[in-house]
Structure 1
Amino acid sequence: MNPSLPTAGAVPRLTELSHGGGCGCKIAPGVLAELLKRAAPMPLFPNLLVGSETADDAAVYQLNDEQAIVATTDFFMPIVDDPYDFGRIAATNALSDIYAMGGKPLFALAIVGMPINVLPHETIARILAGGESVCADAGIPVAGGHSIDSVEPIYGLAAIGVVHPQRVARNAAARAGDVLVLSKPLGVGVLSAALKKGRLDAQGYAAMLDTTTRLNRPGTALAGLDGVHAMTDVTGFGLLGHLLEMCRGARLTARVDYRALPFIDAAPALAKAGCVTGASGRNWSAYGADVTLEGGLPAIAQALLTDPQTSGGLLVSCAPEAVDEVVQCLHDGGFGQAAVIGRLEAGDARVVVA
Structure 2
Amino acid sequence: MLDNFTVQEHPRLLSSWKGGEDATLWILSDERAAVLTVDIITPVVDDPYTWGQIAAANSLSDVFAMGGRPLLALNVVGFPINCLPLDTLSAILEGGMERATKAGAIMAGGHTVEDDEPKYGLVVYGEVALNEIWRTTGARPKDKIILTKPLGTGVFSTALKADLLSKEEEEVMISQMMSLNDLPLYLPQEVRRKVHACTDVTGFGLIGHLLNMLDENIDIRIEAKRVPLLAGVTEKISMGLVPAGAYRNKDCYKSTGKVTGLESLDENLEDALFDPQTSGGLLLAVDPDVEDVILDVARKKGFVGSNVIGEVTEGKGKVKIN
The letter of the residue matching 1:205 is E
Q: Secondary structure at the match of 1:81?
A: coil
| Cα distance in 1 for residues equivalent to 2:7 and 2:22 | 20
Count of aligned residue pairs for this structure pair: 318
Asked whether the equivalents of residues 7 and 18 of structure 2 are also in contact (C-alpha less than 8 Å), the reply is no
Q: Cα deviation per residue 1:43-96 (whole Å; 9 max; x = unaligned)?
A: x21211222333111111011012211000000111111111110100000000
Deviation at residue 266 of structure 1 after TM alignment: 2.2
Alignment of 1:313-332 (within 5 A): 313-332=281-300
Determine whether 1:238 maps to 2:205: yes
SS in 2 for 1:204: helix
Quick one: distance in 2 between partners of 1:203 and 1:162?
Answer: 37
TM-score relative to the length of structure 2: 0.95
Specify the code of the residue in structure 1 equivalent to 2:272: L
- Is the partner of 2:213 in helix, strand or coil? helix
Residue 347 (structure 1) aligned to one of 295, 299, 315? 315
1:295 Cα offset (Å): 4.5
Aligned to 2:183: 218
Change (3 A) 1:222 1:56: farther
> Take 1:223 and 1:307, find their aligned partners in 2: how far apart are those partners?
32
CA contact (8 A) 1:167 1:223 kept: no
Amino acid paired to 1:39: F
Q: Letter of the 2:261 partner, please give it.
A: L
- Indicate which of 68, 74, 81 corresponds to 2:33: 68
Structure 1 residue 345 displacement after superposition: 1.2
Tell me which of 216, 226, 241 is aligned to 1:275.
241
Mapping for residues 261-340 of structure 1, pairs under 5 Å: 261-289=227-255, 290-340=258-308
Q: Does 1:117 align with 2:117?
A: no
> What RMSD, in angstroms, separates the aligned Cα atoms of the two structures?
1.4
Q: Tell me if 1:108 matches 2:79.
A: no
Secondary structure of 1:300 counterpart: helix
Determine what percentage of the aligned residue pairs are the same residue.
39
The partner residue of 1:53 within 9, 18, 26 is 18
Runs of 4+ in 1 over 4 A off after TM superposition: none
Aligned residue identity for 2:206? L
CA distance in 2, matches of 1:133, 1:164: 26
1:201 partnered with 2:166: yes
How far has the Cα of 1:107 moved from its partner? 1.0
CA contact (8 A) 2:298 2:304 kept: yes
8 Å CA contact retained: 2:262, 2:270: no
Query: What do residues 300-338 of structure 1 show as CA deviations (whole Å, max 9, x unaligned)?
Result: 122101101100000110112221111112112211110
Cα distance, 1:296 vs. partner?
3.8
Structure 1: give runs of 5+ residues left out of the alignment.
1-34
Amino acid at match of 1:302: E
What CA distance in whole angstroms lies between the structure 1 residues aligned with 2:262 and 2:28? 47
Aligned mates of 2:295, 2:304 — CA distance in 1: 9
Deviations 1:175-216 (A, max 9, x none): 112110000010000000001111111111100011101101
Q: Deviation of residue 139 (structure 1)?
A: 2.2
DSSP 3-state at the match of 1:147 = strand
Q: 1:251 to 1:147 in 2, by over 3 A?
A: farther
Equivalent residue letter for 1:280? A
